[in-house]
Structures are given as structure tokens and as C-alpha cells.
């Protein structure tokens, strides 16, 4: 099985008709909204609110997919599924890994887009 890329620049650029400036804007917008989005997921986990976890993870998952953050996308999808199935074992670890991978994505995106 192929491991997802930290930053799939080609796929992300394809989504925006190879408009690098637009992709940069989308990534910047993601990081503006990221603190609130990640807090929403963390609060849902703390409160064991499976519906909120599903919705919050879905929202961030979509944004991550649009900007080519594929490892992050997969982790957010896992959190979304956990919320949907109300299976909360391991969600804290998945959340921590998501936070770590988003930082890795930030570094890769900055390198590849500059």
C-alpha cells in the first residue's frame, strides 16, 4: 500500500487549474481557520461528543483534501469515521497525530510553494 504524501502538490494544483497563487491563498486561509477547527475537534473528543467529532473532522478533512494535505486528510477521515461509528478508542492518538502531520504539511507546503 502506498503511503499518502505529506503534500500532494500536483493534485492540489490540478484542483485549482494550476493556479499557484490561488493554491497559496487556499493554504493561507486554511491556516487562518485551523486553530478554531482543531479546537472544535479537541473539544468534541474531550466531551465525547461523537456527532460534533464527525462534523468537525469532516469539515477539516474537506479543507485538507482541497489543499493536497493527504496524510492529514486520511487522519481527519479516521476521526470522522470514529465520530460516525461512536468508536472513540484511539481518537486522542489520531488527534495528536493529525496535529503533528498538519505541522509537517505546513513545512512542506512552504518549501514547495516558495
With 0.75 as the threshold, say if the pTM is over it: yes
Reply yes or no on whether the pLDDT at 2 is more than 80: no
User: Predicted confidence band at 7 (pLDDT cuts at 50, 70, 90)?
Assistant: very high
- Rounded to the nearest angstrom, the gap between the alpha carbon of residue 32 and the centroid of all alpha carbons in its chain is 13
Q: 2: which DSSP letter?
A: P
3-class DSSP state for residue 17? coil
Q: What is the pLDDT of residues 60-82, one digit of tens each?
A: 999 999 999 999 999 999 999 99
Residue 52 to residues 49, 79, 101, 102: CA-CA distances in angstroms? 5, 11, 22, 20
Domain map of the chain by residue range?
9-113
All 3 cell numbers of residue 91?
481518537
In this predicted model, what pLDDT tens digit does every residue of 82-100 receive, in sequence order?
Answer: 999 999 999 999 999 999 9
Q: Say which DSSP state 100 is in.
A: H
What's the rounded Cα separation, in Å, for the pair 8 and 23? 12
Q: How far apart (Å, rounded) are the C-alpha atoms in residues 37 and 43?
A: 10
Give CATH for domain 9-113.
1.20.120.160
Nearest-5° angle of CA 57, CA 68, CA 46? 20
Signed CA dihedral, 99, 101, 104, 105: sign only: negative
Amino acid at each position: 500500500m502506498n503511503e499518502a504524501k505529506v503534500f500532494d502538490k500536483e493534485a492540489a494544483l490540478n484542483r485549482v487549474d494550476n493556479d499557484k497563487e490561488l493554491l497559496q491563498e487556499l493554504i493561507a486561509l486554511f491556516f487562518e481557520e485551523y486553530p478554531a477547527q482543531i479546537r472544535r475537534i479537541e473539544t468534541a473528543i474531550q466531551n465525547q461528543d461523537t456527532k460534533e467529532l464527525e462534523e468537525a473532522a469532516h469539515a477539516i478533512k474537506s479543507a485538507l483534501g482541497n489543499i493536497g494535505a493527504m496524510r492529514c486528510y486520511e487522519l481527519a477521515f479516521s476521526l470522522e469515521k470514529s465520530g460516525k461509528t461512536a468508536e472513540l478508542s484511539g481518537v486522542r492518538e489520531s488527534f495528536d497525530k493529525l496535529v503533528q502531520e498538519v505541522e509537517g504539511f505546513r513545512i512542506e507546503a512552504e518549501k514547495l510553494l516558495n
